[in-house]
Structure 1
């Protein structure tokens, strides 16, 4: 009986996956952009444009990069291309107008400002004074942050929220539940203490949630930051020793940064640091991503103003180096404080010396390709207001965090606000063979907008996977194709989806065209017991391979693998399988297949049985027959 076997293995198609690499580049560029690494992001977006990959999207993001780098000449160049796109978000009219003003092309700027207004955009006239800082206005034109509810505020002062290992640490003057409160003469509120609560807790935060150990004292304590391994905490505290305040020459008690160790489930072993002094304040500790640098604020001599941001190296044994002032790009003759460093090395801080919306505003730094700070950006609303906005922190993902403000509408004096940034949205899926379900590598993916315009192009990876970043509130069509398959498509929408949704799945199934079906159904050939000659039924199948390789696929390359059943000795079966591989090889060569198109013809004896007939039980002859075979592995199709 003729037994068919549909297990021809398409094992190692050696085709490049160049466009998949472009998708990886886009993900990299978006990550860099979201982490404020605009110089590096711009370089990757330019590479994507050169490769014509998701070009419209990359052009818009590249224009934003140049705007945020205070480069109106290049920003206007790419905003001009962006505003010519179909369905471009209207804020790009505004951004283009601002970039034109940045190069003093006022007439053209007014034209695009009017178009922005006509499209429903709202403009603050102060944004367009002739000498306005176009970069800040462009940044503020796009809402980057969205406020979330924070459940742990009190009627007093709360700030310094910092998330670590699922817990939120923050400072508060609440002292709730304590019968006798010590009041701070400055504002007649209790002194600051550090509180900790589970992020998702619904319990009230009172005196029972004060941080356990030696952190909290009878004076001001906090805010805090913790090393990634959870072993050490750096925190601010009034300068005092043995419960006695140490005052400077003016009779003031300054702030210091202390370090504590987590031991036996509490914070203890508090140590004074070498960067401190009785003569000036050192406070607001922040650590970089690998805990090798400590950032802080200080009013020590030699600064630019009331207080400046400094950085100091931390050696492996915890010893601190010499503090370094971050310079006058960050520091002003006003007050800078509350530094925070995200995972990409971007510094966030509060200042009343840079141009802002009110009193203290939160700013972010912009670094060049050498990681040198070249500018600062106001984060805009809703992070900043016309009041004090400070103690900004961010999650490791860069999409959520906290800050504090004394703006109107809060619960107490200073309140903590949680925020989120709308995450990027992508469509992803797998392109598979509709007959056997196998993934199709290097299939072409094209993305179209609701008007039929192509807006993205890529190829699937070796697992048939693709992923493309898309805009929200749009209708799309995704099409998958391959030269050996019939194309398939899906329509989908990103309208009215939840903010937290980051992925839309669109899998595609491609039906093979006729010649691929023929190849897929090619039979394995079989041999008689203890024989290696080519049987007539095997010759028919070998003739199919000859036809495929000589007439249909002149570049096709294969490998031959032959096997035996389990009867006979191991060494005998090894030789018999090699003889079967040789006879198969010689048949193909004698019928016109070039030898170089068969990379190997090998025998594996009884080592790769297709069933359980390994000699441990009796098997029918038909079962043994399945093991006496030669298979053909396709190495290259074209």
Structure 2
């Protein structure tokens, strides 16, 4: 009797494994639960049941059974990773980090840079300024809808609804009908049923969609099961994989379906996306040589329509997890979904960051509300860069995967350069203070070595920005972000600071004196001139001066004019010889005896010391502000 019971349970396990390997996870889960109830190979059945729920994106039950799995003796360490992922799906981010760390400490391979970011990731995502605002579309169904793609006023999307059809073919993975491509007019309120299926040869008896369309509207790339010319191909394990096909629009019908050379029946090639110039095709694939479950690739589209050699986009984008659903906007930014980068849920949507050479150097999570604790994917952005679609199985939808439209309000920032008002050079470490209309401090920061600053700001607010630096007078400017067009993302406010006229230091610009009937620089005058050189080169690199030389009243007027000019020239040449830019000395003039400092004009007897006060060169600071 015991032997018979064991044999029956073994048969159930074999049946469950067969269903699992055929991707019939709903039915497989039911059998694994029976095995657990009967306590037959319970540890194995718990792990498999957890995997079923994870693949069905039922993260609540996945977390429940992964929790049991990780308590098992000698459990494979990948279940630590799976549990961490499931905990993210139920918003237990602290627990997720703990189990991800345990997975890593146990020798598991994960993306080091992403793991390091995990500590502050959730806080940064939830505190980020919101850019995307979601709304529901009217063409969702109770089943799976995703992959919305807008072109020429129409929205194309993939759906398992098959509404209006009496006999439905069900897909064993999730017991839903197979995907088909549907099309509806943007903004239409008409119901989307079987009559809205795409006309032509794109839809088949298996999965079809999502799609990507060239800008001229004549060529469509789409995902489909390996089914071409009514022949279904399978890999060595008997699995019918996914491929990308190409169709042409003829007489308003999509026809002439082509199998592409990038496909192979032994692995999956799916999720087509086109570069804005139509010269590259992006896609996801689990082909050999990748970094994880599936990676994102790109391939050149030649003028004649032939394709080049696919190129893996590298480990900045691709991880040991799964990446898919690529999309390229008009600016060349790649958006994609991933469960391998640090995120909020099971699948999150990410965008790439490129350097000045257009090399991708990082990825960023789009944050809430684009991403949730569930699956978020199939990002699309319209030509305007402000509207588009995502898909998600988050709560609150009609059922399963739903399409959401978004309206994007780009982040706004104020930026500028703080410069010296005299020499126009940037001022590093200038303090930038930003206040709102209520004099509440919004930001307080320093400029970089190039005098540059940048601050994120809100729309519909009045601001006042001030730049200050200890050797300069403050400069302030008021501005507003009210009534600014949505497409505007940057306000430029360059600020100029005037050097402070420091009375104490400028007093050191002493008048220099000359011997009677001489224009050579005396040693005491050289000391004073060296002070001026130091001030102009080191203390006030933007200062501009004028040189004025004078004589006493002795001698005739013409001679004294020439003598004063010689004294001005001597002073000028000394400063230039010490490295002062000639452009910073606007004039060097002689005024003879015309500007005496006292009454020694020859009408009275004066001491020599009083005549000395008139034999002088003065320095006039003409540009300090």
Q: Give TM-score scaled by structure 2 length.
A: 0.49
> Which has more radius of gyration?
2
TM-score, normalised via structure 1 length: 0.48
